[in-house]
């Protein structure tokens, strides 16, 4: 990516800040464009980096004209703009449609028009066997990317990444636990046996950079990740913060799964393992006549790659992973000060 212009949609989020820092310190891009609709976050990010390599543009992927204008002279696109929180998408599903589906199509169309080198769209385990509006909209994001990869006449490579819970990202459970602990409130969990993939943000960034380097047209790349039960997450936080607050079970909420899936049984039929990654290959052209009359695969995997059958972290391993997070280390400093 040396000498390249890189566009990050939704660039003021947790992902955008971290990948921008990585690009700045490990590569030599000519320009990093941060495209988002939050002027306060852009102001904070501009002060934080204070580097002329950045260009900050206020805009919304829903606005087709805006994204077409910003795409000119761009080489690589990280499409991170999305509504990501399950409750918000459940209550306002059309907002998820406009941002996660229509906004994605606008980004793909704009990238195709100017023949950018590569577009990487960011997806989630909730897009797999989706049961909530956020997951459904992200599943459509994947389908739109795959359709563009199949039919586009440009030289642009369209690919994607799919990952599970990014630890300490906005709206995730660890910041909630920290808030509850520091306010001496009960830690609330849905159900003890529920499992979730755990992925530190730097590893998620590595996945996206891996996609920039290795992603082929139509690929969805998945990083193998360990998982933990929500009970162990809560217990680990109690021990880390040395608190006596109780753990309260509130039950599974609307739109939540007991376990998440990163690679389905159907995906595994066309996937290959690539070290710590799965590459789900989707380039093959669709022939409508053959699609309706001919099958291809005789072997069907017994199960997909899920948070129930991946590497399960013990309580001590969960604590170790949580303690590796810079945000937790900072929270502990403040907590110790307050405790005095």
**What integer pLDDT is reported at residue 332 of this predicted model?**
92
**What integer pLDDT is reported at residue 340 of this predicted model?**
39
The Cα–Cα gap between 18 and 295 comes to: 43
What are the tens digits of pLDDT across the range 264-275? 999 998 899 988
Q: Which domains does the chain have, with CATH numbers?
A: 5-166+199-226+260-306 (3.40.50.720)
Q: How far apart are the first and last CA of the chain?
A: 48
* Candidate list 4, 118, 126, 148, residue with the active-site label: 126
Element spanning 333, H or E: helix 326-339
**What integer pLDDT is reported at residue 172 of this predicted model?**
82
User: Which residues have a Cβ under 8 Å from the Cβ of 234 and sit 6 or more positions away?
Assistant: 177, 187, 189, 247
pTM of the model: 0.90
In this prediction, the residues of the chain whose per-residue pLDDT falls under 50 are: 339-340
User: Which residues have a Cβ under 8 Å from the Cβ of 94 and sit 6 or more positions away?
Assistant: none
**What integer pLDDT is reported at residue 288 of this predicted model?**
64
**What integer pLDDT is reported at residue 294 of this predicted model?**
65
The Cα–Cα gap between 79 and 16 comes to: 10
What are the tens digits of pLDDT across the range 219-272? 999 999 999 999 999 999 999 999 999 999 999 888 889 999 999 999 998 899
To the query of whether residue 126 is one of the catalytic residues in this protein, the response is yes
The Cα–Cα gap between 203 and 169 comes to: 13
């Amino acid at each position: 990516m040396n000498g390249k212009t890189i566009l990050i949609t939704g660039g003021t989020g947790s992902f955008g800040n971290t990948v921008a820092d990585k690009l700045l310190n490990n590569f030599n891009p000519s320009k990093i464009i941060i495209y988002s609709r939050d002027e306060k976050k852009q102001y904070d990010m501009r002060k934080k980096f204070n580097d002329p390599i950045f260009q900050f543009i206020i805009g919304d992927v829903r606005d087709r004209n805006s994204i077409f204008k910003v795409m000119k002279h761009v080489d690589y696109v990280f499409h991170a703009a999305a509504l990501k929180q399950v409750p918000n998408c459940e209550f306002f599903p059309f907002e998820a449609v406009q941002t996660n589906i229509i906004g994605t199509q606008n980004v793909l169309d704009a990238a195709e028009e100017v023949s950018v080198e590569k577009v990487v769209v960011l997806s989630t385990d909730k897009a797999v066997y989706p049961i909530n509006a956020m997951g459904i909209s992200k599943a459509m994001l994947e389908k739109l990317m795959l359709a563009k990869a199949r039919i586009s006449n440009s030289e642009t490579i369209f690919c994607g990444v799919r990952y599970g819970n990014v630890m300490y990202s906005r709206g995730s459970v660890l910041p909630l636990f920290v808030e509850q602990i520091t306010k001496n409130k009960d830690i609330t969990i849905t159900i003890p046996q529920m499992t979730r993939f755990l992925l530190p943000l730097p590893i998620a960034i590595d996945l996206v950079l891996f996609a920039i380097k290795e992603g082929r047209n139509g690929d969805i790349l998945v990083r193998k990740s360990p998982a933990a039960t929500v009970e162990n997450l809560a217990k680990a936080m109690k021990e880390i913060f040395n608190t006596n607050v109780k753990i309260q079970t509130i039950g599974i909420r609307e739109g939540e799964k007991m376990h998440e899936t990163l690679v389905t049984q159907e995906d595994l039929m066309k996937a290959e393992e690539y070290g710590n990654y799965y590459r789900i290959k989707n380039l093959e052209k669709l022939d409508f006549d053959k699609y309706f009359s001919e099958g291809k695969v005789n072997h069907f995997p017994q199960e997909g790659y899920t948070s129930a059958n991946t590497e399960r972290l013990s309580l001590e391993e969960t604590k170790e992973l949580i303690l590796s997070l810079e945000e937790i280390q900072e929270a502990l400093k403040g907590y110790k000060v307050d405790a005095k």
